[in-house]
Structure 1
Amino acid sequence: MGVLSNKIHGEDLKPGDHIYSWRQAYIYAHHGIYTGDGKVIHFTRGAGQEIGTGTFFDRIIFSSSPAHPSDNPCPQCGDYSRLDGVIISCIDCFLAGGNLYLFEYGVSPALFLVKARGGTCTLATSDPPEDVLHRATFLLQNGFGVYHVFKKNCEDFAIYCKTGLLVNTSISMGCSGQAASLAAAVSAIVSSPLRYLTTSCSGLAAVGYGIYCVNRLVSDLGVRRDVEKVPVESLVANTSLDESSGATDIAKE
């Protein structure tokens, strides 16, 4: 892998690796955990059936369904086109025709900023592969809750499997670097008074990029203070209670 690219060959993968593949002309990436034997566990909205943000942007840009349509199912995986949640599929279905990339952990702040595109690396360190695989397989059997683009997406799932870390407040964004980059970009464009310090195009660009980099850095999992280690068994128990409570509230309405 180079400084600017995390591309990796399939034969170099190890069980417990966090991998991803770009979708929709590099607009976003789909993430998962490689388990060995050509299989990947990943969190998906399937054919767009889960509830995310409820917007057109959410449905079209961020949905991640397997590569094979229902009328031409994968010979290894079968028809996954109507499934959602945590699933396991072959690496070809996961890649959906895209290239393979390895998400990096424990990078330096300098390298993090050089990789200006979010969702490729983090300052946080990974747990041992056996812990990563335990979380991934446990969530495959028990679920990861309801998909949400900004708080619980495929990257959040993979990062949790690798680190066991989750955001501990309901008002904060999740751990996804892609979501953090989007928020940082919006902030750099419209939110900072520093943009009034210069009127030249180059000056505005420099100020905007600086704000973007700072916002990305302070939003990274390895820097944030609103995260905590959550055992996967506790996570599933709490998720089940929250979903049951939500269902009860809906029934009462």
Structure 2
Amino acid sequence: MGVFSNKIDREQLNPGDHIYSWRQAYIYAHHGIYVGDGMVNHFTRGGGQEIGTGTVLDRFLCSSSPSNDTDTPCPKCGDQNKTDGVISSCLDCFLSGDSLYLFEYGVSTAYFLAKARGGTCTLAVADPNEDVLRRASFLLENGFGGYNVFNNNCEDFAVYCKTGLLISTSISVGRSGQAASCLAAASTVISTPLRFMTTSFSGLAAVGYGMYCVSRLVSDIGVRRDVSKVPVERLVASPDLDEPEKMEMLIASPEVDAPEKAEEVTKED
């Protein structure tokens, strides 16, 4: 594992690891938390679609729900083709025939920028594995809100399990490095000031890549100042995790530490 690849063997896995596997010819990656005994907790849209926009994009980004090539359901997972939300799958179903990769935490700025592709590492420091597993288990039972490819996706789920961090502003994508990379690339392409900074193609490419790197870096959850540590019990008290405005209100509200208090808040709402 290193700058060029985060690929690992199954024997290297530890409970609490944030893992991912590439989908659709490396267009995007699906993320989850390895919980031990060959099982992975992960967040998926299900229903045959990854983003559910009703547009042509749905044909390219198919569902991350585990699928079987045969008519026989997996003996460990059952049939999860149409299952959505936070689910538990065996490692084979999670990988869907692709390779296994480990998401890295607490990396240096230089290492982060050397990883040109987002969604593989972060400067944020991970919490102890027991905290990670507790969050992953709690969210398996209580859910992680509605799936949103930009604001509340599988990487957001895994990053929250590892760090407990949420973004406290509504003008933002979620914690996902993949979403941040897409936004950074789009911003670089449409930034008209670039054409006035250089006249050569190589110069334009260098300036564009520099802007892309800076945009990725400032969007990383380990660098941002608009993040807060939110207990998982308090998180599930809000059913609108996919709506940034509601999340901003949740983070600004008084802290709820215990599950009992979270239940009281839910009843009052």
- What is the TM-score with the length of structure 1 in the denominator? 0.90
**Partner residue, 1:83:** 83
Alpha-carbon distance between aligned partners in 1 of 2:214 and 2:125, rounded to the nearest angstrom: 20
**Partner residue, 1:214:** 214
- Count of residues paired in the alignment: 244
Whether the 8 Å contact between 1:58 and 1:149 is mirrored in structure 2 is: no
Evaluate the alpha carbon distance shift between residue 8 and residue 51 of structure 1 in structure 2; reply closer, same or farther with a 3 A threshold. closer
Evaluate the alpha carbon distance shift between residue 49 and residue 114 of structure 1 in structure 2; reply closer, same or farther with a 3 A threshold. closer
Evaluate the alpha carbon distance shift between residue 54 and residue 218 of structure 1 in structure 2; reply closer, same or farther with a 3 A threshold. farther
**Partner residue, 1:201:** 201
AA matched with 2:160: Y
- What is the TM-score with the length of structure 2 in the denominator? 0.85
Alpha-carbon distance between aligned partners in 2 of 1:108 and 1:13, rounded to the nearest angstrom: 22
AA matched with 1:46: G
Show structure 2 runs of 5+ residues with no match: 247-269
AA matched with 2:230: V
Evaluate the alpha carbon distance shift between residue 44 and residue 187 of structure 1 in structure 2; reply closer, same or farther with a 3 A threshold. same
Show structure 1 runs of 5+ residues with no match: 247-253
List structure 1 runs of 4+ shifted beyond 6 angstroms: 240-243
AA matched with 1:131: D
| Equivalent position SS for 1:31 | strand
1:4 Cα offset (Å)? 1.2
**Partner residue, 1:48:** 48
| Equivalent position SS for 1:110 | helix
Alignment of 1:94-105 (within 5 A): 94-105=94-105
Alignment of 1:113-124 (within 5 A): 113-124=113-124
1:41 Cα offset (Å)? 0.2
AA matched with 1:194: L
1:75 Cα offset (Å)? 1.8
Whether the 8 Å contact between 1:70 and 1:81 is mirrored in structure 2 is: no
Alpha-carbon distance between aligned partners in 2 of 1:105 and 1:56, rounded to the nearest angstrom: 34
Higher mean alpha-carbon deviation, 203-212 vs 43-52, is at: 43-52
**Partner residue, 1:165:** 165
Query: Percent identity, aligned pairs only?
Result: 73
1:186 Cα offset (Å)? 0.6
Evaluate the alpha carbon distance shift between residue 227 and residue 241 of structure 1 in structure 2; reply closer, same or farther with a 3 A threshold. closer
AA matched with 1:211: M
1:118 Cα offset (Å)? 0.2
Evaluate the alpha carbon distance shift between residue 35 and residue 242 of structure 1 in structure 2; reply closer, same or farther with a 3 A threshold. closer
Deviations 1:21-69 (A, max 9, x none): 0000000000000001100000001133687555442564163120316
Alpha-carbon distance between aligned partners in 2 of 1:166 and 1:53, rounded to the nearest angstrom: 25
| Equivalent position SS for 2:127 | coil
Alpha-carbon distance between aligned partners in 2 of 1:48 and 1:194, rounded to the nearest angstrom: 40
Evaluate the alpha carbon distance shift between residue 122 and residue 144 of structure 1 in structure 2; reply closer, same or farther with a 3 A threshold. same
| Equivalent position SS for 1:20 | strand
